[in-house]
């Protein structure tokens, strides 16, 4: 939900539990993770702790900077700004800076390759700027990190988190509609009453102004292959037929419109649907903000659990204290 909400702490907790359970784990990242560039060595950023036997991928540059012994399994032909991607298996425990496949197709291929190499589960370290790699077309589920870094108000933390939760829970279209639309990669398309798909020749939802006449010319069900924008939702909300419009996105990661625009569109009778629904596995809540401000942990957990019914909500630090007490 924001930087410094405890995402890496959550990842480390998962790695510890999976290690204790004897699961074979693969680990990658949607960007550069494990520490922040230019950060002093004694800063509070926890870093990513990898256990022996973990499969991981990173760039050549970051592989050379690792703090563990590893066996190289593959070096890709593809070049990045930091060198080729190195797939390796940790021989000893330690820390590594992750920098994984940069796009959905490459990530999906790496996850499949990790499974062939024996991984039972792959964890993908996410990033706000690379949300598309959380698409259900790539990963089987999402753990959402939220907390005081989002806002100093518990009510606002819950509102912001609930908005993302609601996008993840958007209803899927029927199988026939999904089949017709899944291969479309760009632009706006309409589905008429007979179920036929029409290219509206609108290249992007961000270019509404120059294509207003075309958008509803072929029916009230629209598919946006790219990003759903504020401009598009505002335009649709202002139409006389707004209550009958169904807008279909590929998945929740493609909805770039603000919470207010989404709320206005839906309250006016519009419908939002997706080709593929996301599975929200859990929410991790961090009551501590970067500047030292702390929300009341009990109130934050209670409010999130009330606002996100049916979703497990955890404070990882409290679970660490409980689960590690026997080991101490």
Q: What is the pLDDT of residues 180-221, one digit of tens each?
A: 999 999 999 999 999 999 999 999 989 888 888 899 999 899
Is 292 exposed, middle or buried, given 0-12, 13-18 or 19+ CB atoms closer than 10 A?
Answer: exposed
Would residue 132 count as lying in a domain? Answer: yes
What is the rounded average pLDDT of the residues 113-121? 97
Do 137 and 99 belong to one domain? Answer: yes
| Residue ranges of E strands in the chain | 25-29, 32-33, 49-50, 55-59, 70-80, 83-90, 94-95, 98-99, 121-125, 142-147, 188-191, 197-202, 221-224, 246-249, 271-274, 280-286, 313-314
CB 52 within 8 A of CB 92: yes
Do 268 and 299 belong to one domain? Answer: no
End-to-end Cα distance, the chain:
33
Tokens of 313: 């909500």
What is the rounded average pLDDT of the residues 292-307? 95
Do 144 and 266 belong to one domain? Answer: no
Would residue 158 count as lying in a domain? Answer: no
CB 93 within 8 A of CB 19: no
Give residue 64's domain range.
7-152+278-324
Would residue 1 count as lying in a domain? Answer: no
Q: Which domain-ending residue is among 274, 295, 315?
A: 274
Q: What is the pLDDT of residues 240-294, one digit of tens each?
A: 888 999 999 999 999 999 999 999 999 999 999 999 999 999 999 999 998 888 9
Q: What is the pLDDT of residues 10-47, one digit of tens each?
A: 999 999 999 999 999 999 987 665 444 434 333 345 57
pLDDT at 324: 38
Assess whether pLDDT exceeds 50 at residue 62: yes
Would residue 157 count as lying in a domain? Answer: no
pLDDT at 35: 45
Q: What is the pLDDT of residues 86-99, one digit of tens each?
A: 999 999 999 998 88
Q: Which domain-ending residue is among 259, 274, 289?
A: 274
Do 145 and 282 belong to one domain? Answer: yes
Do 180 and 266 belong to one domain? Answer: yes
* Residue 125 CB coordination number (10 Å): 22
Do 213 and 181 belong to one domain? Answer: yes
Which one-letter DSSP state was computed for residue 173?
A: P
CATH of residue 246's domain is 3.40.140
Please give the Cα distance from 102 to 119 (Å, whole number).
Answer: 21
192's CB contacts (< 8 A; 6+ apart) are: 198, 218, 219, 221
Assess whether pLDDT exceeds 70 at residue 318: yes
pLDDT at 327: 39
Do 224 and 318 belong to one domain? Answer: no
Give the least confident one: 32-41, 50-59, 183-192, 300-309: 32-41
pLDDT at 39: 42
Would residue 122 count as lying in a domain? Answer: yes
Do 213 and 264 belong to one domain? Answer: yes
Would residue 2 count as lying in a domain? Answer: no
CA dihedral in degrees (58, 61, 65, 70; nearest 10)?
50
Would residue 169 count as lying in a domain? Answer: no
Do 110 and 202 belong to one domain? Answer: no
Q: How many domains does the chain have?
A: 2
Confidence of residue 172 (pLDDT cuts 50, 70, 90): very high
CB 317 within 8 A of CB 145: no
Q: Which of 238, 187, 245 is nearest to 219 (CA)?
A: 245
Q: Which domain-ending residue is among 274, 297, 316?
A: 274
Would residue 287 count as lying in a domain? Answer: yes
CB 295 within 8 A of CB 152: yes
Which one-letter DSSP state was computed for residue 4?
A: T
Assess whether pLDDT exceeds 80 at residue 111: yes
Do 212 and 256 belong to one domain? Answer: yes
Do 197 and 117 belong to one domain? Answer: no
Do 256 and 292 belong to one domain? Answer: no
């Amino acid at each position: 939900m924001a930087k410094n909400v405890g995402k890496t702490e959550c990842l480390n907790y998962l790695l510890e539990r999976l290690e204790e359970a004897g699961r074979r784990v693969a680990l990658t990242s949607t960007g550069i993770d494990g520490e922040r560039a230019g950060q002093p060595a004694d800063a509070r950023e926890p870093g990513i702790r990898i256990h022996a036997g973990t499969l991981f991928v990173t760039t050549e540059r970051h592989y050379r900077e690792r703090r563990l012994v590893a066996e190289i399994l593959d070096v890709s032909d593809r070049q990045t700004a930091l060198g080729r991607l190195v797939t390796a298996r940790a021989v000893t425990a330690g820390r590594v800076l992750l920098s994984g496949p940069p796009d959905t197709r490459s990530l999906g291929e790496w996850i499949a390759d990790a499974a062939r190499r024996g991984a039972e589960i792959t964890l993908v370290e996410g990033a706000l700027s690379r949300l598309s790699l959380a698409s259900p077309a790539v990963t089987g589920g999402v753990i959402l990190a939220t907390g005081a870094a989002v806002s100093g108000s518990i009510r606002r933390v819950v509102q912001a988190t609930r908005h993302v939760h609601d996008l993840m829970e958007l209803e899927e279209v029927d199988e026939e509609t999904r089949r017709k639309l899944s291969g479309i990669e760009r632009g706006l398309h309409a589905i008429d009453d007979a179920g036929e798909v029409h290219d509206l020749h609108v290249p992007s939802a961000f270019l509404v102004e120059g294509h207003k006449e075309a958008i509803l010319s072929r029916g009230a069900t629209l598919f946006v292959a790219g990003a759903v924008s504020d401009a598009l939702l505002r335009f649709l909300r202002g139409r006389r037929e707004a209550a009958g419009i169904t807008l279909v996105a590929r998945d929740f990661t493609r909805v770039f419109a603000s919470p207010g625009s989404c709320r206005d569109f839906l309250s006016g009778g519009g419908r939002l649907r997706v080709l593929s629904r996301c599975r929200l596995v859990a929410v991790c809540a961090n009551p501590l903000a970067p500047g030292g401000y702390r929300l009341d942990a009990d109130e934050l957990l209670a409010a999130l659990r009330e606002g996100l019914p049916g979703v497990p909500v955890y404070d990882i630090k409290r679970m660490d204290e409980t689960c590690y007490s026997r080991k101490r």
